[in-house]
């Protein structure tokens, strides 16, 4: 499983969750990683510096992927540095508004839908045409393990919209050598310590001793789909279960 010399944009890669682990894992597999962050510049720099300390190649780029102009700036920065984008991982999405349908906050629910769909609608027209031209690309979105929905009505609907938006692109994309897939976990706890995220990525004792789904489990799935082994997998939802 390798992504050697592929250029990967990982959105929301500076937090303590799946994005950071995905960035570390794609770098482990040889990708050049664009570490996107919205506000956590120092955390993003730490991820990039760790990748470079291991002999990898990484850069950080600030941008709110809910905004069209920031998405364009993110892609432009990746192309300016590396020449193209081979992999685009879309993570950030809806907030948490747990009201049932009978008590829904319409404004908050519409914001959830916007935040799930906006990164897809902003990024696809920026990355897919050049992927089509090279007959190679990987587009992966993080969504929700259905039908094991969360208790939040608006969150579930917004995630379903993201899933459908991506799946609708799969057939045309595959005709051009681009795979479109969804990683669909249930709850996944954050990794508070950067050192633990690294240990999980390195398959150290934290990985061996884990007893539930971690951000690294999600990252391994992304790594597989981005590798040559995933060349003919498109339109799938990879489910991850959580032990309550």
Kindly tell me if the per-residue pLDDT of 153 is higher than 70: yes
Average pLDDT estimate for 196-221: 96
Mean pLDDT of the chain: 94
Confidence of residue 217 (pLDDT cuts 50, 70, 90): very high
Q: Which helix (H) or strand (E) holds 142?
A: strand 137-142
Q: Say which residue the tokens 């906006």 belong to.
A: 118
Please state whether beta strands 87-90 and 237-240 pair in parallel, antiparallel, or not at all (unpaired).
unpaired
**Which backbone phi and psi does 33 adopt, to 5 degrees?**
-115, 130
Average pLDDT over residues 133-151: 88
Contacts 24+ apart (CB under 8 A), 40-48: 40/14, 40/15, 41/14, 43/14, 43/15, 44/13, 44/14, 46/194, 47/13, 47/14, 47/20, 47/23
Strand, helix or coil for residue 33? strand
For 114-126, what is each residue's pLDDT tens digit? 999 999 999 999 9
Please determine, looking at this structure, whether the domain spanning 7-240 carries the CATH number 3.40.50.720.
yes
pLDDT mean over 215-241: 96
Domain boundaries, the chain: 7-240
Count CB atoms within 10 A of the CB of residue 11.
29
Q: SS3 of 147, please?
A: coil
pLDDT at 111: 94
Residues written for the chain: 244
Among residues 158, 160, 207, 216, the alpha carbon closest in space to that of 188 is found at 216
């Amino acid at each position: 499983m390798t992504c050697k010399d592929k250029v990967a944009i990982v959105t929301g890669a500076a937090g303590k969750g799946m994005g950071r682990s995905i960035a570390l894992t794609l770098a482990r597999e040889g990708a050049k990683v664009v570490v996107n962050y919205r506000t956590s510049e120092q955390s993003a720099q730490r991820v990039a510096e760790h990748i470079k300390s291991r002999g990898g190649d990484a850069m950080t780029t600030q941008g709110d992927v809910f905004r069209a102009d920031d998405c364009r700036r993110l892609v432009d920065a990746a192309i300016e540095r590396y020449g193209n984008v081979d992999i685009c991982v879309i993570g950030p999405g809806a907030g948490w508004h747990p009201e049932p349908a009978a008590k829904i906050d319409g404004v908050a629910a519409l914001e959830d839908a916007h935040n799930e769909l906006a990164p897809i609608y902003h990024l696809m027209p920026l990355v897919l045409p050049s992927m089509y031209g090279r007959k190679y690309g990987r587009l992966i979105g993080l969504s929700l393990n259905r039908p094991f929905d969360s208790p939040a009505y608006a969150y579930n609907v917004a995630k379903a919209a993201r899933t459908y938006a991506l799946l609708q692109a799969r057939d045309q994309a595959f005709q051009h050598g681009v795979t479109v897939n969804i990683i669909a976990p249930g709850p996944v706890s954050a990794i508070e310590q950067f050192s633990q995220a690294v240990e999980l990525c390195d398959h150290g004792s934290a990985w061996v001793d884990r007893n539930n789904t971690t951000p690294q489990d999600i990252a391994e799935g992304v790594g597989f789909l981005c590798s040559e082994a995933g060349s003919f997998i498109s339109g799938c939802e990879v489910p991850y279960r959580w032990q309550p």
